[in-house]
A and B are shown apart, each in its own frame.
Chain A
């Protein structure tokens, strides 16, 4: 008998993850991730809530933060600045894809 397949789930604005899940997925120390939230690089659904929850798309950002932190040996502020450039690059890439799709 073959094992059943597991669902791969989207990381989007609909599904939600807890702070603990975000910390665990990022691989960053909790204090550094909290600093990234303070700099606005990660945004909880309700920043004033006693327990933070996040749209699951932030898992991708948190993991990117961890990779940048590790690859360039940066502090959390440096990571937050690079993340803003990464976001801008992704927006431009998306616009480029849309233009290429239209123009052929």
Chain B
């Protein structure tokens, strides 16, 4: 197990008063919280600070930490034998290798919940399993159609000897159709195992959906750019438009303007009994290279047309 200097992480001396530890944590939390911080490695730093504060703010855990002795940060160490008897009952002497310091103190927290450290542990008291949380990255197609995914997590659980151990936790789950980026889902009963008849925890999934090269999602609606030539916009046309369920023929009416949204009802994401729409957003593209014949046609159009796209600007400019 690697040693972490919780006092150094929080920037306090080893004999710091509880208030001093609290103030220092709060100050650092404002600076490094990953939701707001622009500091480099903020997430990693905040995780370490949280772990340090969780231990040092609790007098029992702080005493247990202090009795681990002083080591260099990152140095491999083992808790002294009498430490195991006093604080980590049941943590077999071979049981420190596959866990880290935060796991060890998470185990102590569990023991406190079960009836206190240092004696009087009611080992038969039922204890609910922990909830787990996992990030799930889906492609657009998986989000649109739903998907069956396999997750492999590393879970901390109670060993039969009463200690803590890390075990692989595999879950196969079906993601429903129409999930969106940032959505959270729950897989009931797929978190940590409960102890002594306590219920199993749940697994929470943070959904992240990869950007698609064509489709952009907002709620249940999907937006796709539809490039058209200037003469197609003026005269109208019919185009083959890709959609997540296959290409459709879409009529672009004569006189279509740039930015206009052509709606395909019910072709968006589906969720339960609801379906969003697919919007084709018209982009008028112009040819950057024209031959002499085409240039002549455009020049003829310019001479004969009385269309003024800047009529309103001209009015304002004339004031």
Contact = CB atoms under 8 A, between A and B. Distances in A.
Interface string B217-240: 111011101000000000000000
B216 interface: yes
A63 B173 contact: no
Given A72-B33, A104-B225, A9 B187 contact: yes
A24 B202 CA distance: 10
Contacts of B179: 10
Interface stretch (B22-30, B59-67, B95-103): B22-30
B172 A8 contact: no
A5 B186 contact: no
A93 B35 CA distance: 14
Given A73-B26, A97-B218, A11 B184 contact: yes
Interface in B23-44: 25-26, 29-30, 33
Interface in B95-149: 128, 131, 148
A97 B182 CA distance: 11
Contacts of A92: none
Nearest to B186: A9
- Size band of the A side of the interface? 20 to 34
A3 interface: yes
B61 to A, nearest CB: 15
A24 B128 contact: yes
Contacts of A24: 128, 199
B174 A5 contact: yes
A50 B17 CA distance: 44
A9 B216 contact: no
A25 B131 contact: yes
Contacts of A3: 172
B281 A104 contact: yes
Contact of A27 (B131, B172, B205, B261): B131
B309 interface: no
A70 B51 CA distance: 11
B90 interface: no
A6 B173 contact: yes
26 contacts: A4-B172, A5-B173, A5-B174, A6-B174, A6-B190, A8-B176, A8-B205, A10-B176, A11-B185, A11-B186, A59-B186, A63-B204, A70-B50, A72-B30, A73-B22, A73-B25, A93-B182, A98-B218, A100-B218, A101-B218, A101-B221, A101-B222, A102-B223, A102-B261, A104-B223, A104-B283
Given A9-B186, A10-B179, A102-B281, 18 more contacts: A3-B172, A6-B188, A7-B187, A8-B173, A8-B175, A9-B176, A25-B131, A70-B50, A72-B26, A72-B33, A73-B26, A100-B218, A101-B216, A101-B218, A101-B221, A101-B222, A104-B216, A104-B283
Closest 7 CB pairs of A and B: A101-B218, A98-B218, A101-B216, A8-B185, A5-B172, A101-B223, A5-B174
Interface of A: 2-11, 14, 24-25, 27, 56, 59-60, 63, 70-73, 93-94, 97-98, 100-102, 104
